[in-house]
Amino acid sequence: MRFYLVQHGEAKAETEDPERSLTERGIEEVKRISRKVKAIAIHPAKIYHSGKMRAKQTAETLANGLKPFNVPVESVQGLNPNDDIRPWASRIFKENEDLMIVGHLPFLEKLCSFLLAGDENGRLVLFRYGAIVCLEQKEDKRWAVTWVLTPEMTTSQ
């Protein structure tokens, strides 16, 4: 099983936009990431997001990049910045399909560290707006980082 953790794209300040939608730069970076995701042919069974506008926009852009595969995008509870990671950690261990979650820091950082080392405070992976961290569950049910894709890696040379 592969598990994709995505930090939402760069968002506007709350003073500028109370819903904190993506900035123009955030939109452009997530679109670049979505094109690369299509090229490397990842196929999550579902994409979950927190329901916050910036996460929703990021999730929908990534799903559009995966077409013609129609990956369902769903808003779910428990992915907000300061939510407890344990319910999601339990849920992920029970899954057998590739999943993607689009969320926020510090939640993603804590969940990733917990899955990799059993310590949510380990800060083993530094996230970046719009980046994807791919974890893979090994035969012994432990997790490892397979790859990381940042918007900077998608720019043309």
User: Which domains are assigned to the chain?
Assistant: 2-154 (3.40.50.1240)
Structure confidence at residue 156 (pLDDT) = 60
Among residues of the chain, what percentage have pLDDT more than 70? 99
Whole-angstrom Cα distance, residue 27 to residue 48?
18
Left (φ > 0), alpha (ψ -120 to 50) or beta: where does 47 sit? beta
Q: Give, rounded to a whole angstrom, the gap between the first and last alpha carbons of the chain.
A: 33
Q: What is the pLDDT of residues 120-149, one digit of tens each?
A: 999 999 999 999 999 999 988 899 999 999
Q: What is the pLDDT at residue 85? A: 98
Distance CA 102, CA 111 (A): 12
Full-model pTM: 0.94
Tell which wins on pLDDT, 61 or 65: 61
pLDDT of 157 > 60? The answer is no
Could you give the C-alpha distances from 139 to 4, 98, 144, 147, in angstroms and in order? 18, 15, 11, 18
Q: Mean per-residue pLDDT for 23-51?
A: 93
